[in-house]
Structure 1
Amino acid sequence: MDHSTHHAATGHGHATWATAMKATLHCLTGCAVGEILGMVIGTALLWGNVPTMILAIALAFVFGYSFTLFAVMRAGLSLRAAVKVALAADTVSIAVMELVDNAIIALTPGAMEAQLSDGLFWSALLGGFAVAFLITTPVNKWMIGRGKGHAVAHAHH
């Protein structure tokens, strides 16, 4: 661990934007996989908007946590310790990301009724992820700089 990463991981000093962007992108990847999978499953099963969004958000948390969980377990942590790290590292990040992304989808005219084959569905989803990334990155930077959030996971990488 280099000097700047150590400071970001331990909460001493400040977190770099690069570290915050990397942590946010890592989180976004897990969220995106879970959310898209939930949308595909809900749509394929002809579920309504509410149950589909609940499934998508739940899977976003599952995949978001699991990406961190497997990373810190590879670093040698036990399952129990890894779960604690994943919960501490990702809860705020995933929650902010999902809140922003789903608000954008809900506020985009026609996006909630769009099907998987519609460009509007994908543009609203990807646009939501882009805005969520822009909003979540400063949140993660602030948390990492205080030794919280993704700093907890980075201490174990």
Structure 2
Amino acid sequence: MLLQTREFITQVEHALAPVRHVMKPILSDPLVMGAWALVVVASVGVLWWDIREHNGALPSMMKGVWTLVVLYSGPFGLAVYWYSGRTQISRDSLWRRGFRSTAHCYSGCGAGEVVGFVVLAGVLAIGSTLVVTLGTFALAYTFGYALTVGPLMQEGVGFGEAMLDALYSETPSITVMEVAAIGTDLLIASQAHITDLLFWGALVFSLSVGFVFAFPVNVTLVHFGVKEGMENPAEMGESRSQSRAQATD
């Protein structure tokens, strides 16, 4: 079984070799990565400005979620926020709920992946790909589940029930996201060191790949009622407006 798994991984790696050859020089280019860093900083600035000026009704957790999403994916993350996360959206939809659900999962899992690769492959310089992979997976699951269990427990749900809910609703999304993200990182930069620009470039790129693969999974889970897809932000804006009107009266 182990031999068959290794053979399968080798075949996949061989099939995706052209992707590695294309992406390695791009993600190793100081000009490209410097420009990307500036774009990310600008995107985060736009996000924070919009939240402060127009979307203060968003819960603190979602403000943090969107900040991480934009930090991970720059203008792509900002576009997802603009389409699905603002109180000014014209109407909610399955696609918007799917984007919000993916963003929620992405923020926690992404943090786990970053910590995993930086600590295990970077700081500790563990040479075993298997150990780095399993450790990063474990951290991604931990961070992802925590982002669901924590808010549920704050609402009064017991730990056991909250954990069961997280396992049921988040496991498919986290699994697909991390298989895609960690696989992409290892494909492109398995030999890179923490001091190499490729180490960071591949990590950033892999996060967005994970989001893309997890999105259809979350849409499916929301469609069948396994996940709620996060609250409609437009309703938050209406509630805030009503509260202000009552306070004025």
TM-score computed with the length of structure 1 as normaliser = 0.80
Letter in 1 for 2:168: A
CA distance in 1, matches of 2:172, 2:194: 28
1:147 and 2:225 correspond: yes
Deviation at 1:154, TM superposition (A): 5.0
Instruction: Select the residue among 23, 35, 38 that pairs with 2:101.
Output: 23
Question: Residue 121 of structure 1 aligns to a residue in which SS?
Answer: helix
Letter in 2 for 1:94: I
Q: 2:154 — aligned with what?
A: 74
Higher relative contact order structure (alpha carbons within 8 Å, sequence separation ≥ 6) = 1
Q: 1:62 — aligned with what?
A: 142
CA offset digits 1:88-137 (Å, max 9, x no partner): 111000000011012211222xx011122322112212211112111211
Letter in 1 for 2:179: L
Structure 1, unmatched stretches of 5+, are 1-14
Question: Residue 145 of structure 2 aligns to a residue in which SS?
Answer: helix
Q: 2:181 — aligned with what?
A: 101
Segment drifting more, 89-98 vs 23-32: 23-32
Instruction: Report the RMSD for the aligned CA atoms in angstroms.
Output: 1.9
CA distance in 2, matches of 1:117, 1:19: 39
Question: Residue 172 of structure 2 aligns to a residue in which SS?
Answer: helix
CA distance in 2, matches of 1:56, 1:27: 15
Letter in 1 for 2:131: P
CA distance in 2, matches of 1:102, 1:34: 11
Q: How does 1:108-127 map to 2 (within 5 A)?
A: 108=188, 111-127=189-205
CA distance in 1, matches of 2:98, 2:225: 12
CA distance in 2, matches of 1:37, 1:131: 17
Question: Residue 97 of structure 2 aligns to a residue in which SS?
Answer: helix
CA distance in 2, matches of 1:134, 1:41: 25
CA distance in 2, matches of 1:117, 1:74: 40
Letter in 1 for 2:105: C
Letter in 1 for 2:161: A
TM-score computed with the length of structure 2 as normaliser = 0.52
Q: 2:206 — aligned with what?
A: 128
1:85 and 2:145 correspond: no
Question: Which structure: larger Rg?
Answer: 2
Percent identical pairs in the alignment equals 33
